[in-house]
């Protein structure tokens, strides 16, 4: 059962389709570096395709019927889409689930400081990262500043050609002898991931009456060169001028630090995409597009994209919240099918692909992988029967009947797929949102795209795997649940 390179089976038309889809995906990946940006991009896309916000549908008392399209958003960080099917919802949904948050650094609530004429923003890293990978590279600042008057200021700095970028300093090799003796986890400590944001002191001019004012000047008077924390004050002056922001506004800001730059083709053959946030937008984006491509369904289709997976799926926007369950209850109510029992039956009767990335086999680090249980770049969509770490701890473990059902769906649709585990048994491990949905009693399996450099600032995927994931997700939406009554017995 050795995986085969998908490119070998493509004709010219299929190769072009894969390449074209990758161009759309690259645009999305470059525009949606944060969970808020991902939700914005997705909502803009699906509203053009006729999706109506759930709140508006409730306000209008809309009665949902087969073919209707509805979506719900939670705090601008999570979104779920529903395409209403012909069958009663109590029979279950076909669900594509993924997450839209990625490892990064977050700005703290009291972050701005000055040390030795350099201004910094203090940070707290988010998710599992190798901290040494985040130094000495260009970084961008994305997020929102919520002000006391209720206004929201959006910030996205470091992506345009004329934008400044930011960075975290690293120790020069000439003085790094002691540093290089440390373990990888300690080479750069979390408290050293301070973002450098400026070096120029604020200009202070004397007024005619002898008082001082801020502003531009050709040359600072000698007596004004020693203003306390002048560089920090200079940054605050810029923030006030450009964003109407006071230092206290950091308290209610959500600012994320991400690698600067667009997703790019990789390789002489342009067969790969190098970019930030493949984990897990490389599964989220084809899930959304699959919803748009699938026809009027028998079983209601759902695409569920959540936040906070990288830190345990916690909080009001994570999978552990009741956001999805509440939205489902509202949908069933608009369809005239709501009862607590029907909601429970719907959840238990659903089938789901927990669409999350897999660790692609890396020949450079072969000792960490078991070849027969690894996935490979360019060999198609991946199914992980289980995830977790070491003795399957923290894992959903899909049942054999469900996997057989999925095999038939994929084979009938001509989807290239492979199976995998996350590295050698005792090497480590990881998890997804699958086990949380499995708590409802539904059939769930992890399914996604192989990724090299997972959780690094720049990750890599194959365009062929991306395209096969789209084909696989469409096939799943259209055919999961057909003649599969035995799966719930």
Contact 136, 169 (CB under 8 A): yes
| 14 contacts 55 by C-beta, under 8 angstroms | no
For residue 391, name the pLDDT band (cuts at 50, 70, 90).
confident
Is 216 in contact with 200 (CB distance < 8 Å)?
Answer: no
Contacts of 264 (CB under 8 A, 6+ apart): 26, 273, 274, 275
Domains, the chain, with CATH or none: 6-102+276-488 (3.40.630.10), 104-259 (2.30.250.10)
- pLDDT tens for each residue of 64-95: 999 999 999 999 999 999 999 999 999 999 99
Average pLDDT over residues 327-333: 97
Q: Are strands 118-126 and 195-198 parallel, antiparallel or unpaired?
A: antiparallel
| Torsion sign (Cα): 470, 452, 304, 143 | negative
Contacts of 169 (CB under 8 A, 6+ apart): 135, 136, 196
Q: Is the pLDDT of residue 430 over 80?
A: no
Confidence (pLDDT) at 415: 97
* Average pLDDT of the chain to the nearest whole number: 93
Contact 49, 57 (CB under 8 A): no
DSSP-assigned letter for residue 393 = B
- pLDDT tens profile 314-324: 999 999 999 99
240 vs 258: CA distance, rounded Å: 23
Q: List all residues 6 or more positions away from 322 whose beta carbon is below 8 Å from its beta carbon.
A: none
- Residue 488 scores a pLDDT above 80: no
Give percent of the chain above pLDDT 90: 85
Comparing CA positions, the residue from 74, 71, 75, 78 lying closest to residue 53 is 71
Residue 271 backbone dihedrals phi, psi, to 5 degrees: -85, -10
142 Cβ partners below 8 Å, 6+ apart? 33, 34, 37, 155, 156, 157, 255, 256, 257, 258
The pLDDT value recorded for residue 484 is 56
Looking at per-residue confidence, does 275 or 385 come out higher? 275
Which range is least confidently modeled, 69-83, 220-234, 388-402, 404-418?
220-234
Average the pLDDT over 285-307 and give the result. Answer: 96
The upper half-sphere exposure of residue 308, i.e. CA atoms within 13 Å in the direction of its Cβ, equals 16
* pLDDT tens digit sequence for 182-209: 999 999 999 999 999 999 999 776 655 5
**What average pLDDT does the segment 257-263 reach?**
98
Taking only the tens place, the pLDDT of each residue in 37-47 is 999 999 999 99
Band of the pLDDT at 425, cuts 50, 70, 90? confident
Identify which of 462, 464, 482 has the alpha carbon closest to the alpha carbon of residue 472: 464
What's the pLDDT band for 218 if we cut at 50, 70, 90? very low
CA dihedral of residues 113, 116, 117, 121 (deg, nearest 10)? -30
Residue 230 sits at φ, ψ, to 5 deg, of -65, -35
Pick the more confident residue, 272 or 429: 272
Long-range contacts of 226-232 (CB under 8 A, 24+ apart): 227/201, 227/202, 229/114, 230/201, 230/202, 230/204, 231/114, 231/117, 231/118, 231/119, 231/198, 231/199, 231/200, 231/201, 231/202, 232/112, 232/113, 232/114, 232/119
pLDDT digits (tens, 9 = 90+) for 338-380: 999 999 999 999 999 999 999 999 999 999 898 998 999 999 9
Q: Tens digits of per-residue pLDDT, 148-170?
A: 999 999 999 999 999 999 999 99
Quote the pLDDT of residue 164.
97
pTM of the model: 0.93
- On the question of pLDDT at 414 being above 70, the answer is yes
Of 222 and 297, the structure prediction assigns the larger pLDDT to 297
């Amino acid at each position: 059962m050795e995986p085969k390179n998908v490119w070998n089976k493509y004709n010219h038309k299929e190769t072009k389709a894969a390449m074209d889809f990758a161009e759309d995906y690259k645009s999305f990946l470059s525009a949606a570096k944060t969970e808020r940006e991902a939700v914005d991009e997705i909502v803009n896309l699906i509203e053009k395709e006729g999706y109506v916000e759930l709140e508006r549908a409730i306000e209008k008392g809309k009665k949902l019927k087969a073919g209707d399209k509805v979506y719900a958003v939670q705090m601008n960080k999570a979104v779920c889409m529903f395409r209403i099917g012909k069958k009663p919802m109590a029979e279950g949904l076909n669900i594509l689930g993924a997450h839209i948050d990625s490892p990064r650094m977050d700005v703290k609530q009291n972050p701005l400081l000055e040390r030795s004429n350099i201004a910094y923003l203090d940070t707290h890293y988010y998710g599992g990262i190798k901290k040494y990978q985040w130094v000495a590279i260009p970084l961008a600042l994305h997020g929102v500043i919520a002000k006391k008057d209720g206004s929201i200021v959006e910030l996205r700095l470091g992506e345009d050609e004329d934008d400044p970028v930011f960075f975290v300093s690293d120790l020069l090799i000439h003085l790094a002898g002691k540093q290089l003796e440390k373990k990888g986890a300690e080479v750069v400590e979390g408290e050293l991931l301070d973002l450098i944001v400026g070096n120029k002191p604020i200009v202070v001019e004397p007024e005619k009456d002898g008082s001082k004012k801020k502003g531009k000047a050709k040359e600072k008077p000698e007596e004004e060169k020693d203003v306390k924390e002048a560089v920090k004050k200079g940054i605050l002056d810029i923030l006030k001028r450009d964003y109407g922001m006071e230092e206290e506004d950091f308290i209610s800001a959500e600012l994320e630090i991400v690698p600067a730059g667009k997703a790019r083709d990789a390789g002489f053959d342009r067969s790969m995409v190098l970019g930030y946030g493949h984990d897990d937008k490389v599964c989220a984006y084809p899930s959304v597009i699959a919803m748009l491509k699938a026809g009027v369904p028998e079983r209601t289709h759902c695409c569920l994209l959540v936040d906070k997976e990288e830190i345990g799926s916690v909080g009001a926007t994570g999978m552990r919240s009741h956001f999805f369950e509440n939205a489902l209850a509202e949908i069933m109510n608009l369809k005239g099918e709501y009862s607590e029992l029907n909601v429970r039956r719907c959840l238990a009767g659903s089938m789901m692909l927990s669409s999350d990335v897999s660790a692609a086999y890396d020949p450079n680090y072969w000792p960490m992988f078991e070849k027969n249980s690894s996935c490979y770049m360019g060999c198609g969509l991946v199914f992980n029967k289980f995830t977790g770490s070491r003795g399957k701890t923290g894992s959903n473990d899909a049942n054999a009947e469900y996997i057989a059902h999925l095999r038939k769906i994929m084979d009938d649709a001509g989807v290239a797929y492979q199976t995998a585990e996350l590295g050698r048994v005792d090497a480590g491990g990881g998890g997804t949102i699958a086990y949380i949905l499995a708590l409802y009693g539904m059939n769930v399996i992890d399914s996604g795209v192989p990724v090299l450099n997972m959780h690094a600032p720049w990750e890599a995927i194959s365009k062929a795997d991306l395209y096969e994931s789209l084909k696989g997700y469409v096939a799943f939406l259209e055919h999961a649940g057909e003649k599969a009554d035995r799966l719930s017995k």
